[in-house]
Amino acid sequence: MFTRVVALALLAMTASAASVGSIAAEANCDNPRVVGTQIVQAGANEIVITDTSCNGAASPFRAAAVAATVDVCGIACAAPTCNLDSGNLPPITEDCQVIKNSITIFNGISTTFSVAPKSLKSLTHGTCTFFLSNLSDNTLTACWADLSVQGSRSGSACFPPVMPLRSQGVCTAVNGVFKIGAGHSGK
């Protein structure tokens, strides 16, 4: 049993590192370093939630303790932009739907989540990753519903049938504090 847990943890770290590398460029994440990974059971599906430091620091959470917390729930995103930063193919639609369904479950437990300064939080299932990149020097309190709506909006603007062969869609908050997107996980 312990061996299986260790193997799953290593698999999660490997999977999250691959997906982080593919989303870091568009998310303005310099020197990405995975600082936390957890596998969450959402119904019959596993979701990998990854916290990534975007400044190369060992842990973004030390800096978060001194930084102010800013509530970004409800802040609008500009029109999504599409790119090939996550590879040549879009994610599988059903994998993105699993993430949206999981976010609905998370929202029922707590409506918000935090993202440390200059960090990235991503949710991955199969070929799809939804992410929020904190571009500010403050800890952000974000809403699960916003991640679902804006991530879906970004994907819908960039994935087939609207715009085939785009692997990632990203929207930037109108105040420039964060980016939300959906893209291929690299799997």
As a whole number, the mean pLDDT across the chain is 82
Distance, CA of 95 to CA of 130 (rounded, Å): 10
pLDDT digits (tens, 9 = 90+) for 20-58: 555 555 556 778 889 999 999 888 899 999 999 887 544
Burial of 44 (0-12, 13-18, 19+ CB in 10 A): exposed
pLDDT digits (tens, 9 = 90+) for 125-138: 999 999 999 999 99
Q: Is the dihedral of CA 31, 36, 39, 40 positive or negative?
A: negative
Q: What is the pLDDT of residue 187?
A: 79
Q: Between 61 and 181, where is the model more confident?
A: 181
Range of the domain at 75: 2-184
Q: Which of 144, 36, 38, 165 is nearest to 99 (CA)?
A: 144
State both tokens at 135. Answer: 């571009």
Q: What is the pLDDT of residue 12?
A: 38
Residue 117 has φ and ψ, to the nearest 5°, of -55, 140
Domain count, the chain: 1
For residues 154 and 169, the answer to whether their CB atoms sit within 8 Å is yes
